Structure 1
Amino acid sequence: MATEVTERRFAETYLQLIGLSSKADESKYHTPSTYDKLSSLGPSLPAIKAELPRQKSGQEDNVQKKIDMSIKSIKPPHKFSVNLSQVDGSQTVYHLKTTLINEATDLSTKDIKAGDLKLLLKGKVIQDTATLSSLTDESSVSLMCMVSQKPAPSASETNSTGEADPSDQIPVEVKSLSADTWSRIHKVLVEDLRSEPAANEALKKLKKSWD
């Protein structure tokens, strides 16, 4: 009942308001089809004099970014340390490997290919397709490098080169790394990662991959 009274009062009040309003000329009102007849859209805001920041694409950042690279070997028999200055951030890790081979004499003189190298950042292997700018937000980065051992040549390959039969050669036993070697590797990891726990974790992964 209360609702009916309220609706009735609302209707009566609405009708009174309509009666008080005078009918305006339709020419004073505009619809979307007559917006072109408006003489003014109201007061205009002052122009902004400050230059708005321009958003750069990821590709532009890669091209402009330069990175200083420090790469060290961590696994014998190869031993090298290469520093590369102002490397384009748009380059891929694979391209960096080819540059590293040309710069490190220990690699270029031993027929090492890019596929034989593994670059690590904080103990994790970096994919060849990754761009250098994606590795760090800083202007420099330190990487570690592992060189895969080449498989021993098969009997047919050895005989085809005119060398002695493998059965006549003294077999070479591949020994595990000594504790002293692992200690030196751990020292390099601590210097690069600047964190004892991170170095311990990286060393653990390296030992696992070596075994």
Structure 2
Amino acid sequence: MSTEGVSQREFVNKFLTLATLNEPIISSSYQKPLQDVTTLGVALPALKYKYNPKRTRTTQQAGAEQLETSTPVSLTLKSIKAPRFAIEKEFVATDTILKVKNFLVQEAKANNASEVKLLLKGKVLHDSSILLDLKTEKAVITVMISAGTSAAKKDSVPVAEAPADPETPISEVSAVLTHLPWHEIEALLTNTYKDKDTSEIRALVERLKKGWEMTK
């Protein structure tokens, strides 16, 4: 068929008309048996790509870590001292130990986080640690709560001074302390130490007087 003097559009229309006049030899659902396939088509050049197994492992590890951080961690917070309690709470793996302590403060188990100490198998857990470091999805945490200084101040009751006897004037008390009955003291010592000489008893009383005067 000559295409001279025929536009491109007319050529396409005539070609499609001729192509649809006869039924296709191969149906649209035709499948060639695999054993009859001798070639896969034009051979493609080898792909110039250097395989890096470390990169694959790093990607897999990052995906695993992301999965771990989103995994919830169930904790049983158990106090072994009075007041005893056991609370089950679910946290996120990225939550810190300090957040767990603040939760106990919100539950009115302690006045502030500094009074709370958390232990796992006898090991103290630090505030900056995250629950992912526990390497478990369930754990029983031992809770120890110490009384804070503020609570101690609230519980302490000031001891009131004993009031003086209103019937005893202060002047009389001072007079009694200032003028001691030295003669009676000397007589008492004489009766007690009968084997001593009278001069020795008097010398002892004089020393007592001097010592008393020095304390004023």
Q: Give the TM-score of the pair, scaled to structure 1.
A: 0.43
Q: Give the TM-score of the pair, scaled to structure 2.
A: 0.42
